[in-house]
């Protein structure tokens, strides 16, 4: 280890980190903060493939005496480390699996106690932005990595709650996280048990950890002549130290290199091809989505996918493949080169339009993924066409594919695309991102072909979801239905990583745009027409998932119950039509227009109408200005993957006089924007009360809420979203 500065040269008396591997070690490794760098969220951790290879070789060199020790459940460690299935201790000692054995679990707390604990933690987290609640089988962790300033508050509250849970519970503090767990689950106990196992008898225990959660393990080794190594920047007089997880990974790799002169081990099979470092500038991205946003043709109602993929491709170059929007019995392929990006637009036949697009995607998958269980009869023909279209798109992807390209597939139209590509021998890395919610397993299982369809997700290297809630729903479904997510050589499937990557916006740019656009002619005309009244704004596509009917009823409820609000505001609802050729959407528009007319007729006065309704798109620059003018923004979908309107509204505000965001608890954005006024969109009275509260809210409270949300959006940007996802897809550390 002459070339690796693991200890301080100025303190030669410190215990030394060994230069060579001792084949008689029992090597016990903490995971988060030790083997792996701390991520912004636990589900965003990615295990470098080089580390997997190192661990496999160490496992061979130590004859199986390598154990992962973590607060994560063992099943989660298996998902992280792919096909390795190393010996592991999970949940701080609550679970244990040694080579060739099943997971052995200690007695878990009662389900009712865990549910009660989780509810209390989630309720408390609602009052503190940026706090992530991680519910485990026997403990609850409160992560404050996105809001370090709240750390002391979270720790104090968690300590009190742990005491209230009773003598069998304890409080545990880690790096930007604290945990409430059973006192019997203890890394020190687990380490002593490992040392006493017959399989590890006579071995020298070596434990490597990084924080307070590992102190019990360090203490346990003091009586058995063990070696403790701590990950920290400040040298410790009590044990050897390594500066960082990166340094530790280098040291472990060098131990393997030094040992390989005498012992050979089998290399780890790499996941399906491609580079494994961070995405290189010379690597193209192949994007596949149903709709394609052509250059200089961006529409006012472009969603998050169109905006974000344009930004990604402009930076990295590549190919964007999707539907041309045309129906043709002899489908044509249109190729549009534009700088470093090529657009491939594919026609579909009338049968494909009817069965693939109208029926399976829009009448079956879209409502199901938004928790609506109204399945039509005879879905099999539509499903067969759905598979056929995905097979044709697979051929199109292959025609454009080069070695080293990374393939990024978007949304529910192309769930089985990776399986079709693997079937054709494609070994490039393939990622899938679901922009809409992932429903509970009870809802999803109403789809007759649910297993057949969802099992194809195992063909992806990375599956991304918008929220922690969606990720947990997927994990629950995958576990209950035994969806294969490990490496499958027979099908050429890789080990699949599932994570949560909340999409966002270019916050500073949107803020600048709103400030500039508020001086535009359209904005000034709107401002003048308000005559000093507060503007309440809604911006949504005309879709039944957006909660437009419930929102209008809340306005009616407010004016009926509190008539003093008449003439105090104007509600402007912008709702550009979408999927107009689907009867359900045409019916929704008719219902919305009728309800607007009814409410205006009921409450209007000679010089005022409460609602203005625009059933057309507005340019993004104009929308940005309208956001800045609005005192209140209503973002109240019944269910939504993310909803970028909420984030755009926050970004657009005047810092000195910001408006108030009213946000549905069922929008993905609610996990981040916890200082919005969060409402149940099915509760008309609650929404009407929130509108009244927002209109009367003092400026100081508005500023405090806005500052909190804007700080979060400044960190979670559009660029950080796609970089985090591509970072995971590249297999980088």
Least-confidence region, from 116-130, 457-471, 647-661 = 116-130
376: left (phi over 0), alpha (psi -120 to 50) or beta: beta
Pairing of strands 341-348, 240-242: unpaired
**431 has a pLDDT exceeding 60:** yes
Distance CA 206, CA 524 (A): 70
Would you call 435 a catalytic residue per the annotation? Answer: yes
| Residue 604, both tokens | 């209007």
Q: Which residue has the tokens 């039944």?
A: 544
The answer to whether the CB of 175 falls within 8 A of the CB of 182 is no
Residue ranges matching CATH 3.40.50.2000 in the chain:
285-504, 507-716
Residue count (the chain): 733
Q: What residue spans in the chain does CATH classification 3.30.70.1020 cover?
A: 111-182
CATH level 2 (architecture), domain 507-716:
3-Layer(aba) Sandwich (3.40)
- How many angstroms separate the Cα of 645 from the Cα of each of 272, 610, 668, 670, 687? 37, 22, 11, 12, 18
Q: CA 664, CA 681: separation in Å to the nearest integer?
A: 6
DSSP calls for 357-414: IIIIIIIIIHHHHTT---PPS--HHHHHHHHHHHHHHHHHHHHH--TT-EEEEESGGG
Q: Which of 143, 186, 435, 727 is catalytic?
A: 435
What are the pLDDT digits (tens) for 587-628? 999 999 999 999 999 999 999 999 999 998 889 899 999 999
Mean pLDDT of all residues in 566-580: 91
pLDDT at 392 over 70: yes
Q: pLDDT above 70 covers what percent of the chain?
A: 90
How far, in whole angstroms, is CA 631 from its chain's centroid? Answer: 30
Give the C-alpha distances (Å, rounded to integers) separating 326 from 332, 334, 458: 9, 11, 32
Res 7 pLDDT > 50: no
* Set 78, 210, 640, 724: catalytic member: 640
Residue 255 has pLDDT above 90, yes or no: no
Q: Which two structure tokens, joined as six digits, stand for 252?
A: 């472990």
CB 268 within 8 A of CB 86: no
User: Residue 280's pLDDT is what?
Assistant: 56
Q: Mean pLDDT, the chain, as a whole number?
A: 85
Q: Structurally, what CATH architecture does the domain formed by 111-182 represent?
A: 2-Layer Sandwich (3.30)
Question: What is the per-residue pLDDT across 67-90, written as a single tens digit (0 to 9) for each?
Answer: 999 988 888 888 788 656 789 998
Residue 690 has pLDDT above 90, yes or no: yes
Question: 549 falls in which pLDDT band (50, 70, 90)?
Answer: very high
The string of DSSP letters for 290-351 reads SS---TT---TT--HHHHHHHHHHHHH-EEEEEEEEEE-SS--EEEEEETTEEEEEEEE-HH
Helix (H) or strand (E) segment spanning residue 174: strand 169-174
Under CATH, which architecture does the 285-504 domain have?
A: 3-Layer(aba) Sandwich (3.40)
Identify the CATH homologous superfamily for domain 25-106+185-259: HAD superfamily/HAD-like (3.40.50.1000)
pLDDT digits (tens, 9 = 90+) for 97-144: 886 557 777 777 788 888 889 889 988 888 888 788 888 777 888 888
Which tops the pLDDT comparison, 43 or 583?
583
Cα–Cα distance for residue pair 451/472, rounded to 1 Å: 18
Model confidence band, residue 14 (pLDDT cutoffs 50, 70, 90): very low
Nearest to 727 by CA among 312, 304, 340: 312
Lowest mean pLDDT among 91-100, 265-274, 347-356, 435-444: 265-274
Active site residue 234: no
Residue 13 clears pLDDT 60, i.e. is over it: no
Residues of the chain with CATH 3.40.50.1000: 25-106+185-259
Secondary structure of residue 229 in the 3-state scheme: strand
Each residue's pLDDT tens digit, 170-199 = 888 877 788 898 888 888 888 988 998 888
Q: What is the pLDDT of residue 510?
A: 92
DSSP 55-109: HHHHHHHTTT-EEEE-SS-HHHHHHHTGGG---EEEGGGTEEE-TT-PPEEPPPP
């Amino acid at each position: 280890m002459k070339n690796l500065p693991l200890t301080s040269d100025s303190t030669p008396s410190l215990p030394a980190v060994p230069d060579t591997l001792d084949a008689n070690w029992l090597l016990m490794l903490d995971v988060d903060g030790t083997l792996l760098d701390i991520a912004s969220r636990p589900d965003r951790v990615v295990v470098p493939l080089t580390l997997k290879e190192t661990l496999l070789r160490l496992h061979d060199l130590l004859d199986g005496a390598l154990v992962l020790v973590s607060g994560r459940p063992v099943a989660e460690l298996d998902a992280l480390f792919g096909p390795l299935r190393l010996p592991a201790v999970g949940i701080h000692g609550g679970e244990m699996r040694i080579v060739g054995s099943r997971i052995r679990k200690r007695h878990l707390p009662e389900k009712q106690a865990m549910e009660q604990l989780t509810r209390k933690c989630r309720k408390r987290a609602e009052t503190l932005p940026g706090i992530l609640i991680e519910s485990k089988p026997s403990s609850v962790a409160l992560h404050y990595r996105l809001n370090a300033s709240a750390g002391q508050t979270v720790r104090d509250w968690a300590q009190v709650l742990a005491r209230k849970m009773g003598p069998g519970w304890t409080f545990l503090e880690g790096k930007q996280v604290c945990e409430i767990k059973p006192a019997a689950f203890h890394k020190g106990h687990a380490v002593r048990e490992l040392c006493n196992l017959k399989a590890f008898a006579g071995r020298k225990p070596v434990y490597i950890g990084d924080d307070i959660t590992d102190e019990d393990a360090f203490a346990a080794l003091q009586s058995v002549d063990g070696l403790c190594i701590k990950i920290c920047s400040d040298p410790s007089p009590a044990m050897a130290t390594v500066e960082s997880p990166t340094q530790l990974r280098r040291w472990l790799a060098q131990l393997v290199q030094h040992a390989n002169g005498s012992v050979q081990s089998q290399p780890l099979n790499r996941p399906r091809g491609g580079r494994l470092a961070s995405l290189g500038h010379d690597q193209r991205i192949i994007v596949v989505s149903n709709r394609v946003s052509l250059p200089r043709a961006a529409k006012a109602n472009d969603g998050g996918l169109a905006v974000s993929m344009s930004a990604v491709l402009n930076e990295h170059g590549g190919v964007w493949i999707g539907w041309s929007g045309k129906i043709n019995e002899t489908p044509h392929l249109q190729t549009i080169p534009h700088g470093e990006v090529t657009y491939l637009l594919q026609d579909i036949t009338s049968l494909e339009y009817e069965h693939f697009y109208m029926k399976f995607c829009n009448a079956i998958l879209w409502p199901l993924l938004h928790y609506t269980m109204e399945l039509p009869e005879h879905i099999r023909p539509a499903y067969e066409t759905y598979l056929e279209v995905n097979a044709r798109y697979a051929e199109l992807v292959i025609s454009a594919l080069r070695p080293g390209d990374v393939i990024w597939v978007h949304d529910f139209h192309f769930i089985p695309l990776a399986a079709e590509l693997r079937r054709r021998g494609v070994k490039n890395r393939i990622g899938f991102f679901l922009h809409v919610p992932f429903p509970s397993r009870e809802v999803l299982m109403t789809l007759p072909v649910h297993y057949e369809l969802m099992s194809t997700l195992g063909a992806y290297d990375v599956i991304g979801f918008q929220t922690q809630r969606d990720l947990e729903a997927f994990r629950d479904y995958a576990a209950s239905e035994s969806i294969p997510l490990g490496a499958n050589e027979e099908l050429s499937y890789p080990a699949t990583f599932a994570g949560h990557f909340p999409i966002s916006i270019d916050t500073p740019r949107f803020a600048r745009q709103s400030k500039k656009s508020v001086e535009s002619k359209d904005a000034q005309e709107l401002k003048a027409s308000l005559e000093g009244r507060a503007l309440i704004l809604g911006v949504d596509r005309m879709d039944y998932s957006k909660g437009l009917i419930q929102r209008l009823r809340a306005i009616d409820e407010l004016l009926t119950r509190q008539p003093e609000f008449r003439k105090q505001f104007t509600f402007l609802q912008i709702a550009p039509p979408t999927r107009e050729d689907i009867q359900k959407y045409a019916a929704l528009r008719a219902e919305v227009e009728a309800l607007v007319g009814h409410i205006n007729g009921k409450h209007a006065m000679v010089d005022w109408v409460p609602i203005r309704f625009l059933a057309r798109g507005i340019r993004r620059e104009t929308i940005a200005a309208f956001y800045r003018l609005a005192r209140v923004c209503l973002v109240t979908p019944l269910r939504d993957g993310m909803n970028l309107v909420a984030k755009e509204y926050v970004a657009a505000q005047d810092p000195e006089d910001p408006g108030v965001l009213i946000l549905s608890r069922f929008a993905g954005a609610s996990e981040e924007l916890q200082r919005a006024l969060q409402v149940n969109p099915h509760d008309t009275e609650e929404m009407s009360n929130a509108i009244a509260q927002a209109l009367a809210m003092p400026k100081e409270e508005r500023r405090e809420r806005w500052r909190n949300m804007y700080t979060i959006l400044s960190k979670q940007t559009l660029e950080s979203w796609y970089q985090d996802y591509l970072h995971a897809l590249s297999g980088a550390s």
